[in-house]
Structure 1
């Protein structure tokens, strides 16, 4: 092949590449937030990852097109990867519902004593309660951390606090924080998770580390 025929082909390829690059649109940052982590983020996230045993109580509210409802979190006991979550709700006659599991496995017990197990926790919760809860991700989000299994984006406010995580199609907003009272940094007090027309709000009234 002659050199003269190589240059036009290369020019066309370069032109196509530049054209493709010019059509890439960057998602704008939410107003007042930055994607630049504060200087202490690495240390903070490492400390929060070491927090693998806790108990909390609070309230849960779910809103979606098919239905909406609230539940009291009697307890959420986390022990390593294993969780034990007890909910009470009059919504749809759920009564007291117990969720026990580890990532990728869930045992769900309804108020009538019926117990179900599944290797797909989210599908089991939706089938049993009608609620779409990202339970495996919530274990991370509740500490103010992104889950490890999916790509994510972090956004920080002007006080260098984590304000938002975007992950797995969800937008997790940290509306309020509370002091942990020990060697751990502040912990979330109110979290709002949004995905399309679905909203999950978690209000934590008591952290026990």
Structure 2
């Protein structure tokens, strides 16, 4: 009798613990699944290795404090190092450049004033008023979740990545395009949403960039 009671108690505790550790996930949007396609592991590895590029496009930011658009004159990626040139009437006449690596950025305004910081996102917000997830964007732009944070991937009916949910952001992949031969399709239009902020990025041209020695 005592052994039966102990067994019942252990099973009850396990049931309670199991209930406590269950993660409650939001319902899936209609027509989407969180089950990756069979080729996802191979595709994600290819995209991870694609870390030297040069792209052009347009960036639009909408948020309560301020909104605006900017041309991406170029975004050159060399491994972890990036070099972006943006031009916008919102940012002032001329071009604003952002150069950096994870954990460091150098920002040059159209006036020629240059600022450096170990917190890239805070510096961009202070200088332009825009809140851009720079540390994650280098991954999201390729259609990959950023390392180091929990994430959830959602795929559409054609087994194409449709959404990444990570770090409080929802990244929607509105259009994919075959920019490069013998390479997986790349995002051509992305919309990133967080609370009342929206960042939209449209890529018009995407090329390989030879690694700098």
* Mapped contact 1:94–1:129 kept (Cα < 8 A): no
Q: Give the SS at the match of 2:41.
A: helix
- Cα distance change of structure 1 residues 18 and 107 upon mapping to structure 2, 3 Å threshold: closer
Q: Give the SS at the match of 1:91.
A: coil
* Mapped contact 1:164–1:172 kept (Cα < 8 A): yes
Mapping of 1:145-184 within 5 angstroms? 145-184=144-183
Structure 1 CA distance for aligned equivalents of residues 15 and 148 of structure 2: 34
Shift in Å, 1:136: 1.3
Structure 2 CA distance for aligned equivalents of residues 91 and 69 of structure 1: 6
* Mapped contact 1:126–1:132 kept (Cα < 8 A): yes
Mapping of 1:1-209 within 5 angstroms? 3=2, 7=6, 10=9, 14=13, 17=16, 20-21=19-20, 25-91=24-90, 93=92, 95-209=94-208
Shift in Å, 1:185: 0.4
- Cα distance change of structure 1 residues 24 and 120 upon mapping to structure 2, 3 Å threshold: closer
Give structure 1 stretches of 5+ with no counterpart: none
Shift in Å, 1:79: 0.6
* Mapped contact 1:94–1:110 kept (Cα < 8 A): no
RMSD of aligned alpha carbons: 2.4
Shift in Å, 1:12: 9.9
- Cα distance change of structure 1 residues 69 and 21 upon mapping to structure 2, 3 Å threshold: same
Structure 1 CA distance for aligned equivalents of residues 54 and 203 of structure 2: 11
* Mapped contact 1:176–1:188 kept (Cα < 8 A): yes
TM-score, structure 1 normalization = 0.91
Shift in Å, 1:14: 2.9
Shift in Å, 1:66: 1.0
